[in-house]
Structure 1
């Protein structure tokens, strides 16, 4: 049987961009250290869960089967999906647990994460059931700077960023944009808390998180350089939608 390390090397043959392991960790709900073991220590980790294998196959559009990726089970390649009935515009991969994937030539369905981001006090809210994805035009995502496979929709609760981000709204996050902290809204995790705030780098000090709502307390918080090992940027918030 092949090792997990060799299987991952086969489906990810090219050197990955900076932040790749953190992205995989966020996708699978594990720590970056665990992902480093997947890719670099075949003796320590021989398998991953079928659920995480399905997430990797869906998110990165891998053609191998999740069972092969997770445990080395044959057959190696996933069967081709059935072709849609001519004349119907239905998602080619409806229901797949993926972050973003193509529907037709002009549209993509973006997965809604099963965690609600606190737009306020920093609580973590877990959704019991999966929610249907939201469909966006591809040219709209491109205009927002979102590359294929780099988007996720999260639910936001709280008033700290009103009126820009309303309570109980949905927020489109560009997970491919995590490094240029320029004062825009970002979704991020700190010590287990999932938050949305305006983030900017303060030279020599750390990262400043600021609430949009002038009445919200505390208005801002500085994450100092020595604390940044516990801070993970999930992505830039590029669109918000809410019920009227």
Structure 2
């Protein structure tokens, strides 16, 4: 089965590609795309059997890509991936075979692959009971963790969604919250904050830094052996303590 992965997060593309190939030797990742326009082009060019499609992408979003490729003579099976479970109903209206909520659970992904590899029909969707169970599981997982931050910028207080945060950096008595567009300040100590975040989505890589895993573009070492992660959107380099090196050796 030939597969394309379309997601604007480079680390997720790499991680998902490796997981798929580890799950079954019958699955071959033939291409990856970083946005919706590139996804459509590669799907037309490669004509894959299935596509793992992020919903929130630049250019065309995942739902728009699905609408476009469903008009092809031989459309691929679609598996949507997103951190936002409220898209699920619309995703299934676009003919999704399945729906995965970030961070991706390996057991859940294996079940998805079993559906993809089955010979029963081209668009064998998950039934309504399975969809309800999936959404309930996703909601339980998300509500157990911190969702919104009340953060200061100047004299104003902003509500910042945790999914929009790239990393947290402790500085003196404050913690700086960094998104793609802005920086904010909160007073919650990093040691308290790390317990409130989803441990699969956010890693404490240094005593002063918590980073969103999907925001990491690459990991590098300097000549002294010190490790840094580079945030994909800003190319900002963040230090990795020696105790946290094992997080990346396991990938």
Asked if Structure 1 and Structure 2 have the same fold, meaning a TM-score greater than 0.5 normalized by the shorter chain, the answer is: no
TM-score (norm. length: structure 1): 0.32
TM-score (norm. length: structure 2): 0.32
